[in-house]
Amino acid sequence: MPRKILHLDLDAFFCAVEELRDASLRGKPFAVGGRPETRGVVSSCSYAARSFGVRSAMPMSRALRLCPGLIVISQHWSNYGEMSDKVMERLRSLAPLVEQVSIDEAFVDISDMCRPASGAAATPETIARNLQSEIRTDLGLPCSIGIASNKLVAKIATEVGKKSGKQGEPPNAITLVPAGEEAAFLDPLPADMLWGVGPKTAARLAELGIHTIGGIARWPADDLFQRFGENGRELSRRARGLDDRPVVTEHAVKSISQEVTFARDISNDRALEGSLRDLAAQVGRRLRRVDLAGATVKIKIRWPDFTTLTRQVTLTQPTDQDEEIAVTAFDLLAKVRPKGKAVRLIGVGVTGLGAPVRQLELWGEDAEKARRLQATLDALHERFGDKAIRRGKPHK
């Protein structure tokens, strides 16, 4: 029996939550995100704003030029998290196999619900319609749903449904792709709707005269492999609607990172080091909260012309300590940035996560003292806030 996979995407989720907070926003053009004077970007925008051409990830300053009457709302992350949890609880009460892929998106395997056991089984459309109605009625949130025999096609079905909605209103779409019709459904869609086709790949496909997913499916798979490597082989499979990935209830954390975009470009060395130190401390606290350590420290830096670089180094031992992360980040910054060069964005992250190594013989007495100091700082931060106490100048 083919699987039945449901993909749910909350429509303009942040905006929908803001409308629950303030009903006067309904029907008005507004955007959730950062302020234009601080180089903020649009995180989400209402459907009324979208009719003016405003889109997510757009600089807020440009959004205001497109829609001079646009209302700008700051993010209320705690509210978004709370509403997201409520939606995910509904999904988990519906079926045991739920894979949350973002704050407003999830896959649900409803195969067992569609198999006859005693009496008539529920149809996927009925399950989707009931779920959509329940989330709208009980939580006040609109959502769109795609249903197919696999995750790939279910996700694209949701995207197709959302594009077919009435302008200025949440789509509230439900799109079903029957088993056996996956390739036919994908055939006329733009090539860049397929997972793995980013702007560069789309441009290379266009040079070959390939503009649709069906065009990828009909192109010789061996030639795609020669041109694109393993991604070409996967593109050929996906374009034919093939995807055997299961719905996974948990994902291992692969990296932890923090970054900041400055309101004005920063060229002062001490100011940049201070920002790196703050970011390293945030990363360290997140590591310790989940009892993980990182083997590789990386930095991300963006110049005023938007050129973005990343650099990384692997440590001799995994760490969850702010100071070690910070000092490593300082060294990486010094190697990539000419002294005095202005910076637009900077970030710090760790990868290669695993359990911390705490044996005294490996860490040494000094390292153990540093760990005890870190634990004391964590306790102070938890009690009095992140700015209650800070480390001094880094050791060089």
| Catalytic one of 19, 99, 105, 234 | 105
Q: Quickly count: other Cβ atoms within 10 Å of residue 168's Cβ.
A: 13
18 catalytic per annotation? no
Half-sphere exposure of 151 toward its Cβ, with a 13 Å CA cutoff?
Answer: 17
CA dist., res. 56 & res. 18, Å (int): 16
242 alpha-carbon distance from chain centroid:
24
Strand order in the sheet with 143-148: 98-102, 105-109, 5-10, 143-148, 174-176
In this structure, how many other beta carbons lie within 10 angstroms of the beta carbon of residue 291? 9
**How do 255-266 and 308-319 pair as beta strands?**
unpaired
Of 344, 64, 15, 315, the C-alpha closest to 169 is 15
What is the rounded CA–CA span in Å between residue 182 and residue 21? 40
Decide: residue 14, CB within 10 A, 0-12 exposed, 13-18 middle, 19+ buried.
Answer: buried
- And the tokens for 300? 């991300």
Q: Are 241 and 186 in contact (CB under 8 A)?
A: yes
- Alpha-carbon distance of 48 to 70, in angstroms, equals 10
Active-site residue numbers?
105
